[in-house]
Structure 1
Amino acid sequence: MKIASAEVLVSSPGRNFVTLRITTDDGFVGLGDATLNGRELAVASYLRDHIAALLIGRDAHQIEDTWQYLYRGAYWRRGPVTMASIAAVDTALWDIKAKVAGLPLYQLLGGKSRVGCLAYGHASGVDLPELFDSIHEHLDQGYRAIRVQTGIPGLDSVYGVASSKNAGAGDSGVSARYDHEPARRSAVPVEESWDTRAYLRHAPTVFEAVRNEFGPELPLLHDSHHRLTPIQAAKLGKSLEPYDLFWLEDVTPAENQAALRRVREHTTTPLAIGEVFNTIWDYRELFEEQLIDYVRSPVTHAGGITALRRIFDYAAVYQIKSGVHGPTDISPVGLATALHLGIAIPNFGIQEYMKHSAATDELFRPTYSFDGGYLVPGDGPGLGVDYDDLVADAHPYEGAYLPVNRLLDGSMHDW
């Protein structure tokens, strides 16, 4: 079974997605997600200009060999553009293999290890009343675990707070959410401000209030978005210990893996890291020194099923679990892939889940379901996701960027 075509599809049904569609000479079709938020066209070019021609004529069943061919053969390894491109190819080939077998993809990965994948949603508010309303709304929707993000006194806009000033706003300044995420459809990134001391003072008071309102049983998560130094991260983790977080995410930039030692020394709050990591090499020190508790890499950015399964198997040796990145800049193709993998691996932890827009679901037509707090992949052959070209034609690409961040004195800071 040979690969006959590899099409790069760029669409924007509420936000931008890059999808790879591989078709074999006997008519089987596979999809892969290659979306890289704010740098989508870089991946589209890599696939279209450097990868697609290399795939034509290759045996679609040789997934491992194709992965090694694209990773080792390029010489220039790793990085988000390269690994998102390889992930799209890998996922599309797994989709095809499962369709040829006539089985849902998870059956090729060993079958179900659980009834479903526990999912957490994103609750947020500029103040406590708004946050409480958001938590109640998510609980009413069936979520059984909640990520909590709030506004910070003195700051107009804060990551993860849907109602922040200019959250997703266009030139008019009127809030217009971009499929529930903070990317803006603008020529240049919007600039936001940050105050670490204010954040460190405010965060514990928020979680105290949430625990008092919603009790001790509800799993709560929080994302610091790489904004803290190691000692600041340690201080935050320590201050949040009384509120029993499920995890504290991205407390410090983890390119310097040794920084997590300092955090680990001072707090027992579980740590989740890795949504910006691309390969297994990013995790070696973190795993072997047991500096984290959850792996955040998405299938889309970490080289596909082949590569992420290796990462999870490596993590399992150290009793570290999965916590796959899954906001709406991961397309339904990427989310479906994460669910097939998550329902099969022994060390699943939790799955991030933000519901896509109606237009996105119309374009991709996913068959996964969300019920009782659990996500379950479809039981049809393959991934269980399609791609509607007519719908895509009605939603052409529109440039959009994530914000950038500055401290109050004007210095650039991690966003």
Structure 2
Amino acid sequence: MRKRLHEGLILLSQTISLETSDRLGSGVAELSAFRADDRPGWTREVFSEPYRASRDWTAARMREAGLEVHVDAAGNIVGRLAGRVPSAPALVTGSHTDTVDGGGRFDGIVGVLGSIEAARLLQDSGRQLERDLLVVDFLGEESNVFGLSCLGSRSAAQEMTREDLERRDYRGVSLGQAYTDFGLDPSRLSDVPWAKDPLHAFVELHIEQGPTLEKRGLPLGIVTAITGIERFIATFAGSAGHAGTTSMEDRRDAMVAAAEAVLAVRAEGCGAPTHGVATSTRVESESRSPNVVPSLVRMYSEVRSVDSSWLSGVKGRLTADIAAKAADLGVDVGFEWSTDNTVVQADRGVQDVAGAAADALGLPWMPIPSGATHDAVHMASLAPMGMIFIPSKNGKSHCPEEFSSTDDIAVGVHALVATLRHLDGADTHTSA
């Protein structure tokens, strides 16, 4: 396997110019400069001033690559490379350039800069595609203070609701107001003509955000499915008491019940039969006093899997387990469940085309599930969808240590170019 990989990289290195690598490396560095100085890592959250400033840079980068650029009503930056037959359904590629608080320099950014470079390489090759290629920097893919991810792709797919726009952040500001303050009309978010036209296929280049490709020494992963995500808030109601005078056997300690629940969530993830994870992200006590037995505690958790049958049973299992443990402690518990997204399968035809493109380049690859959600989830309702992963160093993501080498990004870009060329002539709508 490693010999085949070495031979494939030698073949590919003959087509990757130093100029391409330099553009990718400098692009990551320049875009990373747009960040919040008062936050850790590379913080560029949706609707923030660093994010606003970065968008002009991204649009200019697209124009420099020869794309016709506009910002649609949903806030997505769209660059168009004209095809030979403008009436043919367009190919779409892209990702996002916002980050989580304290995030890294590569999540989403690789997909946007890589897609711009792919469009440049296609144009420079002198071989015009049959159909238009749209390169999209989707607005606000990451989870945010409003608790709603994939804002731009969600709007393009006509999935943004009135209730979503009424969500409020910690300051009491609504999502709709945040759009208005950012210069977008929340009543027009679904007015995205390019997404209403028939689309041929959507392919997203992305870092893996996990360790599998690096551990196996593979340059590419072809995504089979994108994880479903179920989230919940558990509210534990016990009884307050003096921490020094209330005996241990007389306590109804909401914090202890929450601690038991954190372990129950972990056990659920550890017991998943295939790809499944479970995480508690926050525990909050209403009491700020250091000498009071906690009486009201909230725990925020989520479970993810590409196994729909396992995921569908999680709600019942965890609710029963956590409630039983809380009852043993004399604590009441209530649950608020929400579905971030269901399991989404990548289109088999697009997977096959991406695999064939990698094979043609002499690059080994593996089928791989995505444990993170992506704009591709919502684009799957508009077009046959696929994703290409490149390795992440030590599997780190959503943190300052997130890293993918320029060489790995360049390999991903050339795999994307080959995939787009193959898809340009493929009948994607006949695949299972």
TM class, shorter-length: under 0.3
Higher strand share: 2
